[in-house]
Structure 1
Amino acid sequence: MSGGFDFTGKVAVVTGAASGIGRATVRAFAARGAKVVAADRDAGVHETIAGLDEALAVEIDAADESDVRRLIKNTCEQFGGIDIFYANAGISGGTAGIFDADVALWTEVLRVNLIGPALAIKHVAPRIVERGGGAILCTASVAGLRSGAGGTPYSASKAGVINLVQSAAQQLATSGVRVNAICPGLIETGMTQRAFDYAREQGKEEKLGQLNPLRRAGRPEEIAQVALFLASDAASYVNGQAIAVDGGLSSSHPVTRQVYGKPAF
């Protein structure tokens, strides 16, 4: 077991675990003694658990209710229960604004980014209660805190995640289950890889993350560390919160605005 938090005997499930934040978090939990379940609709999820002891990979659509039930059932059958669930799966939906996004885009982004975490909370909370309590985490975004950090459907879905964890924390009062959200800034993940690759091809990698006070993009491992904290007993009095991990971006949120009838400037 690596230093820091100790999750020996705990069972942790992470969705969106084929790459990026999800993969880093699975490995961080495993390094600290947890039995881990990595879930994703991408077959790369099997690579996430390569070399790990007491680990399971499950291919699912994290926004499909039958798949979510199957994930929870398989986990409980394999490891006897669930203590920690991190609903991390999400999609960007591109940079479309209100006047560009069609209903199909809105529907898919909300389905994956908001309905997915809602289904996870609905079905996993009773299993965590059975274990005497634990933690549910959801990936929101600084884009959910205020405008200017993502496309409109994406931003609205992540704002919904923040309210979802607040509502869930209230509805799970006295259950022993804490529910919190992590709001990443610009992190190099599968979802943002094209932007990172393009910047490197153009020799402009140093511009990534330049709008935050740290003047750099974040790493998946930095989000994983916050997930470990929120899932641990060290965060026993943290509940219903949205924690920004963004290099300070949300302290100001400088934006490029899309003005009605005019191109962005």
Structure 2
Amino acid sequence: MTTAESGTAAVREERGDGASLQGKAAIVTGAAGGLGRATALALAKAGARVVVADLDTRGGREVADLIGGHFRACDVSDLDANRALVEFTQETYGGVDIAVLNAGVATGCGVGEDFAPARYRRAMGANLDGVVFGTHAVLPALRARGGGAIVATASLAGLAAVPLDPLYAANKHAVVGLTRSLGPALAPENVRFNAICPGFAESRIIDHLRGMLSEQGLPVIPAEAVADTVLRILTGDGTGECWFIQAGREAEPFRFRRVPGPGRPVGV
């Protein structure tokens, strides 16, 4: 065993993910940079075979070459493109075990005078349609394997009000609601569906916020910390969970309050 292989084995033993991810076929969307890149690298290090998907052909190919994986250009807002991505993975690796639906973009507009329908549709297409279309496309492949796991990238913006970017909060809240609903719905088919909800994490989405974050002394979460949480989810047994990720805190599933049930009729 080489020094590099020994180091990788040590990491797998520490996390306990060697047996569960070794040889698994995984798709990671939005994998040319940021959180997707870090996740693709972490999956490959844990022994998974990864298809790197992104619209950034150059960046995507660089990541694929780095991990010995394969690249596939994919616009996640296009249902047929998602289907083609899954078919490519099946042809390349014989099936699909894992889908990390990570692709996303910043909104770039609000609902007032700055509302821009094209930007709105672009954000909803990547951040919400990309998860819905990706899930729809990959489910038959996971069922063919007897089960599998899907992890969607949401955000802390999906767990709290975001007055400065309500449209981003809207599509991320939608991903959270989808996760909580699909988790138990897909469990009988041995398909686990979970989401990550990172705060300000290292990615292109926060580029326009870096000055503000620096001024306010807010730390940026390393992409590797987010990727590590994805692997914790994939090697766990939970479903329908939305894991918050914050700087200086241990990532864990967010505990939602139960919705109040119906009250007693007046006078009863």
With the shorter chain as reference, the TM-score category is 0.7 to 0.9
Q: Does 1:39 align with 2:53?
A: yes
Q: Does 1:230 align with 2:244?
A: no
1:17 and 1:150 map into 2 onto residues whose CA distance is 27
Which of residues 116, 134, 140 in structure 1 aligns to 2:148?
134
2:111 and 2:123 map into 1 onto residues whose CA distance is 13
Are the aligned partners of 1:135 and 1:230 in contact in 2 as well (CA < 8 Å)?
A: no
Are the aligned partners of 1:85 and 1:137 in contact in 2 as well (CA < 8 Å)?
A: yes
1:15 Cα deviation (Å)? 0.2
Q: Does 1:98 align with 2:111?
A: yes
Alignment TM-score, normalising by the size of structure 2: 0.82
Q: Does 1:218 align with 2:232?
A: no
1:136 and 1:51 map into 2 onto residues whose CA distance is 24
SS of alignment partner, residue 37 of structure 1: strand
Partner of 2:242: 242
Partner of 1:207: 216
Structure with greater helix share of residues: 2
**Code of the aligned partner of 1:138:** A
1:121 and 1:51 map into 2 onto residues whose CA distance is 27
Are the aligned partners of 1:143 and 1:150 in contact in 2 as well (CA < 8 Å)?
A: no
Are the aligned partners of 1:184 and 1:244 in contact in 2 as well (CA < 8 Å)?
A: yes
Deviations 1:164-191, CA, capped at 9 Å, x for gaps = 1122223313100000010010012122
1:65 Cα deviation (Å)? 0.8
5+ residue gaps, structure 2: 255-268
Are the aligned partners of 1:134 and 1:231 in contact in 2 as well (CA < 8 Å)?
A: no
Are the aligned partners of 1:208 and 1:217 in contact in 2 as well (CA < 8 Å)?
A: no
**Code of the aligned partner of 1:205:** S
SS of alignment partner, residue 175 of structure 2: helix
1:98 Cα deviation (Å)? 3.0
2:245 and 2:233 map into 1 onto residues whose CA distance is 13
1:183 and 1:149 map into 2 onto residues whose CA distance is 18
Q: Does 1:112 align with 2:126?
A: yes
Deviations 1:222-256, CA, capped at 9 Å, x for gaps = 00001001111xx11x111111102379x9xxxxx
Are the aligned partners of 2:158 and 2:171 in contact in 1 as well (CA < 8 Å)?
A: yes
2:164 and 2:55 map into 1 onto residues whose CA distance is 23
Partner of 2:265: none
2:239 and 2:164 map into 1 onto residues whose CA distance is 26
Identity level (%): 35
Deviations 1:140-174, CA, capped at 9 Å, x for gaps = 01111121375111110000001111222233131
Deviates more, 1:151-160 or 1:100-109: 100-109
Q: Give the structure with higher Rg (CA).
A: 2
2:217 and 2:163 map into 1 onto residues whose CA distance is 13
Q: Does 1:9 align with 2:18?
A: no
**Code of the aligned partner of 1:228:** L
5+ residue gaps, structure 1: 210-215, 252-265
Work out the number of aligned pairs and report it.
235
Are the aligned partners of 2:184 and 2:239 in contact in 1 as well (CA < 8 Å)?
A: no
1:166 and 1:151 map into 2 onto residues whose CA distance is 23
SS of alignment partner, residue 173 of structure 1: helix
**Code of the aligned partner of 2:67:** L
2:163 and 2:33 map into 1 onto residues whose CA distance is 22
1:173 and 1:82 map into 2 onto residues whose CA distance is 17
